[in-house]
Every structure is written in structure tokens, then in C-alpha cells.
Amino acid sequence: MSVYLERPEFEEKLLFRAFINDGMTIVYPHWHKEIELIYSIHGTVNIGVGDEIVHLSEGEIYFFASGEPHYFLASPNSERIVYQFDLSLFNEKQLKSVGDGSLIELFETGEKHSSKWSKSLVSDIKQLLQQLFEEYEKNNQGKKYALFSLLFQLITTFYRRLPQTQLEVKKGAKASTIKYKENLELLDRIFSYVENHYEESLTLEEVAKYSGFSSYYFTRFFKANTGMTFMRFLTEYRINQAKFILANEKVPMIEVAEKSGFASVKTFHHVFKEQVGVSPLKYQKMIIE
């Protein structure tokens, strides 16, 4: 199965989010530049990391470094809190001291599974994660200040107390991760272009030209780094826009089609039913009910 790039959707450019997934939420192989921490709050969570399966017991924590591919298997009777944040939050250029390693290295070389941490570190990180989730879920005054404060405490605690891994990094793994990161900036530009132009008659050739690639190279690059063709990505993006409109607005179907980037109502109806399994109108009724 292809490993695709995930772009977390953050609220108000906060570059942090936290949410709960139950054990039946299967997540396919993916990677992203953001750091991700998993906190198992009930049962055992089964995580695929590279060629290994990690069993995260209740109360344990695991994190993924930037660009590290991972996935989640079905884990019945379990729940996990997922935390994702972008390292640019921490303004590393200004705040990094001479003796500090880089933030990327901190997460690449640190022990990722809390089963290998000291009891005091586990206790302190769990407390921070619980506070982060509570602050994120509420809308108290100073919410962003509180979140930034807790995230900086998390980073400081990891810098000072996170044990270093005793396992040798597999040859080529770091080079692969670096290659992922080199592609992130370009992929972000491509996705931003789609976000700004999806309502127009967008073609692969147009986006390839914008990216500075030939159509042939762009096709290969996009498939290799996202796990899907560009046209499939564009169709899925437009369908998701249509779902949002159908769930939140009461407008004629012709307007839904136009707002989500489809050339005609007929095309929109056909593609939506093919992708979602029901007609747009039936989907809207299901959401309302």
C-alpha cells in the first residue's frame, strides 16, 4: 500500500491540534512533517512503524519524528488521543542555545516509546498531555497562551530528560526522511495552489507548469509522494468541499457543483455518487437526519 502525505488541518494557524480516535479507526500508511504523539487512554493501540508493529498499552505514549511513515491497525476496545504540532511553533532560530541539538534531531534520536522512559518522565509527560487536551477542547480566555506554554514545557522536558535510543538508525532511513522533507515545501506549494484554484477548470498540465515540471515528471513525482494520482487527489478534494457545503449550507445543487469545482451538475452528481456511494441529495438528507 502506498505511503501518502498527510496535511493536518490546524485551527486558526495555531499549528497544533489534539483529537480522540477509537480503536476501530484504521489509519493507512502516511507521513507528515509535523510531530505526532499518541497517548493510549484505554486498551491497547496497535501501531505500524516501518516493518514493526508497536503495541501501545493503556497509559503509554509513543511519538513519531518528522517525516516518519506510520499507520494504525484496528485495535478493538481502545481509545487514543492524538497530538500533532509543527516544529516551526518554537522559533528555533532565535531560541536554540549553542549546546542544544536541533528539534528534528531531538525527536529522531530520542526513545519514542514511554515504556523505555523513567517513571517520573512518564508521569510528567502524561500530566502535560492531559492539560494540553483539556485546554484545546475548551475555549477559556488565553487559550493559545496556555497551549503555547504547555508545548514549550513539553519540549523543554524532552530536551532535558528524554533518553536517547540505543537502536542504530537503519542505513538509508535518515536519507529517506531527508528526501521527504525536501519534497514537503514543493508539495505544500502544489496543495496551496489547488486550494486557491480548485473551483476553476484546473488541469494537470497547468499545475505541472506552476511547479516547474513537465507533465510526465510531475505525474511521477506526485504519485510517488502522495500515493495517488493528481487527478484523483483533485477529485477527492472537490468531493470533500461538496460534502462540507451539503452539510452546512442550503443552496441549489448547481451552486454546490460550482462552489466545489465541477463543470456541471450532471458531472458533479455522477462523480459524487461514484465516490461516496449515494447521490448528493441523499447524502445531505442523511447528514441532516
Q: Hey, what's the cell of 63?
A: 511519538
4-161: CATH, from 3.40.50.720, 2.30.40.10, 3.60.21.10, 2.60.120.280 = 2.60.120.280
The matching CATH number, chosen from 1.10.10.60, 1.10.3210.10, 1.10.10.10, 1.10.287.890, for 173-288 is 1.10.10.60
Q: Write the CA distances from 180 to 86, 134, 214, 232, 272, integer angstroms.
A: 15, 33, 20, 21, 32
pLDDT one-digit tens code per residue, 181-232: 567 668 878 888 888 899 999 999 999 999 899 999 999 988 877 778 999 8
pLDDT tens digits, one per residue of 83-113? 999 999 999 989 988 888 899 999 999 999 9
- Nearest to residue 83, comparing CAs of 46, 149, 36? 36
Determine contact, residues 195/261, Cβ cutoff 8 Å. Answer: no
**Domain residue ranges of the chain, discontinuous segments joined by +:** 4-161, 173-288
Confidence band for 167, pLDDT divided at 50, 70 and 90: low
Q: Please tell me the predicted confidence (pLDDT) of residue 6.
A: 79
Parallel/antiparallel/unpaired status of strands 45-49 and 16-22: unpaired
4-161 and 173-288 share one fold: no
